[in-house]
Structure 1
Amino acid sequence: MPPERPGAPPATSRIPRCAEAERGYDVAQVDDFLAAVHAALQDAPPGPGPEHGSGVVLSTQVRAAVFAGARGGYRPEAVDELLDAVEESLAAAERERCLRARGPEAWQEHLDALTRLLRNRLDRPRTQRFRRPSRPRAQGYSAAHVDVLCERLGARLEGAAPLEPAELRRAVFPPAQGERSYEEQQVDAFLDRAVQLLLASG
């Protein structure tokens, strides 16, 4: 599905539906979310951070969107693909509004703060970048596999290797326990920030 141009109405009529007997994403919930995104692309306040109004949909909120299941709903893979494009459109709009309203120095400060946040993790030794699961014998992500992706991200930030936001969004790690694992929630939050930085960097 082609990306939506910034400010374009959400093309929900092009999202394929599941068969009546299959469960997909609730149509009304997806339509409501995309309508809110369209409003944000039209009217969102400038720039990242606390200047945004509480009712505005931000690019960082797109990955957290959750929809109920419903028979005959939208096909999840099609909605997920559209949400990737929506996130990129919101990120681009936020960048342009910040540049117009606050100037390139403010935007660079935003990028620098994100980079420092990520570097704080990336510069740690392998197997020590994230905390372990707090509950005994709880499963987490394989530390070795997370570390490989972290090193690819570090190379991307240095300009030494390519890494697309989609690779971070779709990253899947084998389960592990104990000292061989990282807490899933902390890794997921880090990857969300990494996607945010890659999109903000253009």
Structure 2
Amino acid sequence: MSETMFRTVSGLHSGYDPDEVDDFFEHARAVYESGPAGALSGRDVRSVAFDLVRRGYQTSAVDAALDRLEAAFVARARADFLAEQGQAAWMARLAEQARTLYTRLTRPDGERFAPAHARKPGYEPADVDALCRRLVAYFDRGAPLTAQEVRSATFRKRNGRAGYAEGSVDAFFDRAVEVLLGAE
């Protein structure tokens, strides 16, 4: 990969390790172009992490490229699935994934996720619940909502038991992104 694949930050700031990023994107390109189907998934792309180093790549630029790469791998998986099993099977699969989300979405505001541990950072429940209501509107009425909107959502911090535990919220919205990408 080219040294200039992404812009770097100044020496006073940290960014993603260029060698790690370049290696990952080189591997992803090889898999996408000629690797075996399923060797790298959208979930794999979403869960990749890079070390932060001085003079690293701008995190926002790399994150945006990862979002596009994830969408490409999901689109490829969808095309492969459709070719093998058809549209009806794909829609049934998406519906089942959505059902696993929906049970949590029907819980009352403030009770959708476990509370954060005492004095640990958590997410503001009102912010999380608002995004959950948008997902309900998407599933129930077809209200507009994109995977990118969910992926880029931010929540205010709320420490301790008054906030939602970050891990369970993040995992839930990762699954929601998978469903939305599959439907887009």
**2:68 aligns to what?**
85
Aligned ranges for residues 22-171 of structure 1 at < 5 Å?
22-42=13-33, 43-45=35-37, 52=38, 56-133=39-116, 135-171=117-153
**1:143-193: CA deviations, max 9, x gaps?**
111111100111112344212222211222122245532111000000001
**1:4 aligns to what?**
none
Flag as ranges the 4+ runs of structure 1 deviating above 3 A. 10-14, 19-22, 177-180
Unaligned runs of 5+ in 2: none
Q: What is the CA RMSD across the aligned residues, in angstroms?
A: 2.1
SS of alignment partner, residue 118 of structure 2: coil
Structure with the bigger percentage of helix: 2
Cα distance in 2 for residues equivalent to 1:79 and 1:200: 22
Count of residue pairs brought into register by the alignment: 183
Letter in 1 for 2:92: E
**1:80-137: CA deviations, max 9, x gaps?**
111111111111011001111222233223201211111111111111111112x333
The answer on whether the counterparts of 1:62 and 1:83 sit within 8 Å (CA) in structure 2 is yes
Unaligned runs of 5+ in 1: 1-9, 46-51
Cα distance in 2 for residues equivalent to 1:107 and 1:11: 38
Cα distance in 2 for residues equivalent to 1:82 and 1:142: 28
Cα distance in 1 for residues equivalent to 2:172 and 2:45: 15
Change in Cα spacing, 1:71 to 1:140, as seen in structure 2 (3 Å) is: closer
